[in-house]
Amino acid sequence: MAELLRVERLRAGYGEAVVIDGVSLGLGAGETLALLGRNGTGKTTLINTLAGATRQHGGSIMLNGAALHTLAPHQRAAAGIGWVPQERNIFKSLTVHENLSAVARPGKWTPEGVYRMFPRLAERRGNLGNQLSGGEQQMLAVGRALVLNPQLLLLDEPLEGLAPILVEELLRAIRRITREERLAAIIVEQHPQAILAISDRAVVLDHGTVVHAGTARQLRDAPELLERLLGVSR
Ligand SMILES: Nc1ncnc2c1ncn2[C@@H]1O[C@H](COP(=O)(O)OP(=O)(O)OP(=O)(O)O)[C@@H](O)[C@H]1O
Ligand SMILES: [Mg+2]
């Protein structure tokens, strides 16, 4: 499988502080990576570093063999990074449809395709961003990343704070995007089982370094390892 993403000895943080220290990982085209770790271990910092939103101190990020780490955030979006930050980055004063059409780039994913994936958004296409529920905002944030027609989707805790029924709905959509449409993705999650079930690979961070890397299945089938790494057994 052709390699899509290659991260080598990445060091990054905020100002002089180094949070991510010596992270290396790779991802093949069409693969999904579950990025796990307890609170404050650097998951968001790593995702944000891939998107260009932190201070990088060292190392390299290559997408399809081209350097990403030298590019500004908007250039990374153009190069194929679709980022859904932990704090949902929708425009609150624009409608659902304006949110999608303002950032859409030519390709397979269109606002209409997003509405088919999330019928709730279709019903609310004229509503302003600040008139949406948390779950609808999360769907819109995912939709905004999709209409960029990225090569790599970065989802930072897409299920956080959602009611169980919305968790199911969003998980189904993410599974469709990653498993059926084979869009490569890195998904950060606190509740590992649901994400491990739809991922190919898994990386666990602790104190800004990789403490485990392997297949998602290996981690799913090893509850005691999961417990030791994350303090959870489900
Ligand atoms: N803007 C910031 N400025 C300075 N330090 C920060 C900033 N954001 C995060 N940190 C620090 O970086 C470390 C890693 O934080 P990060 O948000 O990457 O963790 P996380 O694994 O995503 O946690 P969570 O699961 O709670 O989202 C923490 O010690 C945090 O305090
Ligand atoms: Mg985080």
Confidence grade of residue 232 (pLDDT, cut at 50, 70, 90): low
Whats the size of the chain, residue-wise?
234
User: Of ligand 1's atoms, which has the minimum distance to the CA of residue 157?
Assistant: 27
Q: Is the pLDDT of residue 1 over 80?
A: no
The CA distance from 226 to 218, in Å, is 10
Q: Which ligand is nearest to the CA of 18?
A: 1
Say what the pTM is.
Answer: 0.95
Mean pLDDT value across residues 212-225: 95
User: Of ligand 1's atoms, which has the minimum distance to the CA of residue 205?
Assistant: 21
Q: Is the pLDDT of residue 155 over 80?
A: yes
Per the model's pLDDT, the better-predicted residue between 120 and 2 turns out to be 120
Confidence grade of residue 161 (pLDDT, cut at 50, 70, 90): confident
pLDDT of 190: 80
Residue-averaged pLDDT of the chain? 94
pLDDT digits (tens, 9 = 90+) for 72-112: 999 999 999 999 998 888 999 999 999 999 999 999 999 99
Cα–Cα nearest to 213, from 221, 222, 204: 204
pLDDT of 234: 47
Q: Contacts for 210-217 with beta carbons within 8 Å, 24 or more apart?
A: 210/23, 210/24, 210/25, 213/25, 216/32, 216/34
Cα dihedral sign, 84-151-183-12: negative
pLDDT digits (tens, 9 = 90+) for 61-75: 999 999 999 999 999
The CA distance from 18 to 16, in Å, is 6
Residue identifier of the C-alpha nearest atom 26 of ligand 1: 39
